[in-house]
């Protein structure tokens, strides 16, 4: 008996600590529990919460809760832009000038009215901070505030779709007075002189339904209801984003009621949940997707740069198999996904035809196949991972004789190589800031992505000139039907022999306690989750 005394002592201590912990939990929860929403999520790579600096997934959720934008989408109807801080707007015929009239009722959490100067200052700061999302403001030539209620944004070149850019949370409007008092500036050297990001991670200066109360990096973010919200829609008094690192732990915490909501659970965890009455699942294909790229530069890979070879690869891929790699993955039918206006429909989808692919390779003088290399990231932040898809592509191409060596690297190393245009083929995880068909511009000749694959106006290949002309027209087209059709035709055309293949969307899913209401309406591809739309029974 004496031998086990020490072990018993340890066990007693541990159980005592555990038991007492549980008691304290129930004792302190009280009434505040029902008015508090705990959102369990991996906070590993999240923050800072400065809307002009953050550009990762969860930033969209926090931005939407604490800030407002000029315009918004109506739920998941991405064809329609609706008022937010701006009650009305016009787009000039030159497709370069956007004029917004602010809603006079809009106020910040301080009670101060939102003015055109706040908007001008915010957009200028976004650009001059030179942070991760600053590229979004790159096309802006100027922002002016001719009167307190009017904002005029002028672009460097025509782009009617830019109106939708103002939906993005990075274009959130900050209270200039509060932000500047805490170190923010819109000066040209803001990248060096602005010191507000730290403050804006533990506080906020917006007009949204919530305010940031505290932030413990990688651990916990607390938001509280904005008592002076100009649109008092929030139900919960407090929102806690709590770090729960793994999907297994998130699910266990959800089942035990330790958290109310979680996200991004994988296939094996999500499927059994659908039959559980105490829990609910909602979500949609996200604005993040997998793309396959092929070089157009003969010096990088003379075989891959041939038209017949790129057409053969389009025929060699097993698109349906790719769509079945994981639950919630939505197969693409072209470079514009189906849920975006102008998206390529299922009936237009490319079909796998191995014989045709082999014929095309033979026509290219490569009946014995050839060796090539595919760069990708080894990141496992998404399910399926890019490596999963790369292996599927490798297997499909092997069937037609193309021997692919996968060069998987840590994400930053992969991006460095990809951006240096050193990849023959690439399988990348990508995505735009807002759902509009114009997102394919970077993939067309001279676009940032296209240049990495050697596709430019100097090397347009057999199809580049046509796509460039169509894109130029689409960017200035104010007739929405015509605009959308132009983008659609480009995407559908690239299905034949373009250097890009849209493979699938990464699913974005939420699981929540069944007593949380409004989850279906609160999820969308832009802000991911509108917390203010959630209630508890």
Partner 1 sequence: MTDQVVTPAPPDGAAADTRRPLRRGRRGGRRRSITRRLVTLPFLLLGMTLLMFLISRFLPADPAVAFLGNNGADNQQAVDAFNAKYGLDRPLWEQYWIYLDRLLHGDLGTSISTSRPVADELAAAFPATLELAVAALLVSLLIGIPLGILAAARRSSLLDRLTGGFTLLGVSMPPFVLALLALQVLYLRLGWVAGPGRLDPFLDPPPTVTGVMTVDALLAGQPAVALDVLHHLVLPAVVLGIIHGAFFARVVRSTMVDALRGDFVRTARGKGLPGRLIVGRHAFRFALIPTLSLVGLTFGELFAGAITVETITGWPGVGRYMYNAATKLDFPAVMAGTLLIGVAYVLVNLVVDLLYGVADPRVEEAS
* Binders in 457-516 for partner 1, by CB under 8 A: none
Which parts of 177-196 interact with partner 1 (CB under 8 A)? 191-192
Residue 147 phi/psi, 5-degree rounding, is -150, 170
Which parts of 44-63 interact with partner 1 (CB under 8 A)? 44-45, 47-48, 50, 53, 55
Q: Does 385 bind partner 1 (CB under 8 A)?
A: no
Q: Are 246 and 42 in contact (CB under 8 A)?
A: yes
Is cis: bond before 384, omega within 30 of 0? yes
Radius of gyration for the alpha carbons in the chain, expressed in angstroms and rounded: 25
Q: Does 198 bind partner 1 (CB under 8 A)?
A: yes
Shortest separation between residue 187's beta carbon and partner 1, angstroms? 13
Name the pairing type of β-strands 210-216 and 220-225: antiparallel
| Number of residues this chain uses to bind partner 1 (CB under 8 A) | 73
Nearest residue (CB) to partner 1, 20 versus 105: 20
Q: How far apart are the first and last CA of the chain?
A: 53
Nearest residue (CB) to partner 1, 363 versus 415: 415
Binding-site member from 243, 318, 353, 520 for partner 1 (CB under 8 A): 243
DSSP 312: H
The CA dihedral of 137, 433, 38, 507, to the nearest 10 degrees, is -170
Shortest separation between residue 297's beta carbon and partner 1, angstroms? 19
Report the distance separating Cα 180 and Cα 184, nearest Å: 4
Nearest residue (CB) to partner 1, 319 versus 510: 510
Helix (H) or strand (E) holding 146: strand 140-147
Q: Are 186 and 170 in contact (CB under 8 A)?
A: no
Shortest separation between residue 27's beta carbon and partner 1, angstroms? 6
Question: Pick from 534, 527, 488: which is nearest to 167 by CA?
Answer: 527
Q: Does 167 bind partner 1 (CB under 8 A)?
A: no
Q: Does 105 bind partner 1 (CB under 8 A)?
A: no
* Residues 6 or more apart in contact with residue 240 via CB below 8 angstroms: 36, 37, 38, 39, 220, 221, 222, 223
Contact flags string 341-370 toward partner 1, x per CB under 8 A:
------------------------------
- Applying CB under 8 A, the span of 115-123, 145-153, 243-251, 285-293 interacting with partner 1 comes to 243-251
Binding-site member from 12, 90, 157, 219 for partner 1 (CB under 8 A): 219
Nearest residue (CB) to partner 1, 12 versus 496: 12
DSSP 113: B
DSSP 450: H
- Applying CB under 8 A, the span of 133-141, 303-311, 392-400, 459-467 interacting with partner 1 comes to 133-141
Which parts of 400-439 interact with partner 1 (CB under 8 A)? 409-413, 415-417, 419, 428, 430, 433
Q: Does 6 bind partner 1 (CB under 8 A)?
A: yes
Nearest residue (CB) to partner 1, 243 versus 489: 243
Report the distance separating Cα 224 and Cα 21, nearest Å: 25
* Residues 6 or more apart in contact with residue 321 via CB below 8 angstroms: 392, 396
Q: Does 111 bind partner 1 (CB under 8 A)?
A: no
Nearest residue (CB) to partner 1, 19 versus 321: 19
Q: Does 109 bind partner 1 (CB under 8 A)?
A: no
Nearest residue (CB) to partner 1, 4 versus 275: 4
Question: Pick from 384, 387, 340, 380: which is nearest to 507 by CA?
Answer: 384
């Amino acid at each position: 008996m004496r031998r086990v005394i020490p072990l018993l002592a340890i066990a007693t201590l541990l159980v005592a600590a555990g038991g007492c912990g549980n008691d304290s939990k129930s004792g302190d929860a009280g009434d505040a529990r029902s008015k508090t929403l705990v959102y369990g999520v991996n906070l590993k790579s999240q923050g800072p919460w400065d809307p002009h600096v953050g550009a990762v997934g969860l930033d969209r959720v926090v931005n939407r809760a604490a800030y407002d934008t000029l315009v918004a989408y109506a739920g998941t109807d991405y064809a329609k832009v609706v008022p937010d801080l701006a009650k009305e707007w016009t787009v000039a015929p030159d497709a370069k000038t956007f004029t917004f009239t602010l809603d006079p009722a809009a106020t910040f959490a301080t009670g101060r009215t939102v003015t055109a100067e706040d908007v001008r200052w915010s957009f200028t700061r976004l650009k001059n901070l030179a942070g991760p999302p600053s590229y979004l403001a790159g096309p802006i030539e100027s922002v002016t505030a001719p009167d307190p209620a009017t904002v005029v944004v002028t672009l460097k070149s025509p782009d009617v779709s830019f109106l939708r850019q103002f939906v993005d949370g990075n274009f959130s409007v900050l209270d200039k007075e509060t932000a500047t008092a805490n170190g923010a500036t819109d000066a040209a050297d803001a990248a060096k002189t602005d010191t507000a990001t730290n403050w804006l991670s533990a506080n906020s200066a917006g007009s949204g339904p919530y305010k940031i109360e505290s932030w413990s990096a990688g651990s916990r973010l607390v938001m509280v209801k904005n008592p002076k919200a100009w649109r008092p829609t929030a139900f919960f008094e407090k929102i806690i984003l709590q770090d729960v690192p793994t999907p297994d732990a998130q699910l266990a915490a959800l089942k035990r009621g330790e958290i109310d909501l979680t996200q991004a659970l994988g296939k094996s965890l999500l499927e059994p949940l659908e039959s559980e009455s105490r829990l609910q699942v909602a979500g949609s294909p996200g604005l993040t997707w997998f793309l396959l790229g092929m070089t157009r530069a003969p010096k990088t890979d003379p075989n891959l740069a041939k038209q017949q070879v790129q057409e053969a690869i389009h025929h060699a891929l097993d698109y349906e198999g790719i769509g079945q790699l994981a639950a919630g993955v939505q197969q693409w039918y072209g470079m514009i996904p189906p849920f975006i206006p102008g998206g390529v429909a299922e009936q237009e989808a490319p079909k796998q035809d191995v014989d045709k692919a082999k014929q095309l390779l033979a026509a290219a003088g490569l009946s014995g196949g050839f060796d090539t290399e595919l760069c990708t990231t080894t990141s496992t932040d998404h399910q399926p991972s890019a490596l999963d898809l790369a292996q599927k592509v490798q297997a499909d191409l092997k069937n037609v004789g193309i021997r692919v060596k996968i060069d998987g690297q840590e994400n930053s190393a992969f991006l460095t190589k990809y951006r240096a245009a050193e990849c023959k083929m690439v399988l990348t995880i990508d995505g735009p800031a807002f759902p509009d068909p114009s997102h394919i511009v970077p993939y067309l000749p001279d676009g940032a992505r296209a240049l990495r694959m050697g596709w430019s106006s100097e090397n347009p290949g057999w199809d580049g000139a046509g796509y460039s002309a169509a894109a130029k027209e689409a960017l200035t087209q104010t007739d929405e039907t015509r605009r959308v059709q132009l983008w659609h035709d480009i995407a559908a055309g690239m299905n034949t022999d373009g250097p890009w293949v849209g493979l699938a969307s990464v699913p974005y899913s939420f699981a929540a306690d069944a007593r949380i209401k409004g989850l279906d309406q609160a999820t969308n591809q832009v802000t991911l989750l509108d917390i203010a739309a959630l209630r508890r029974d």
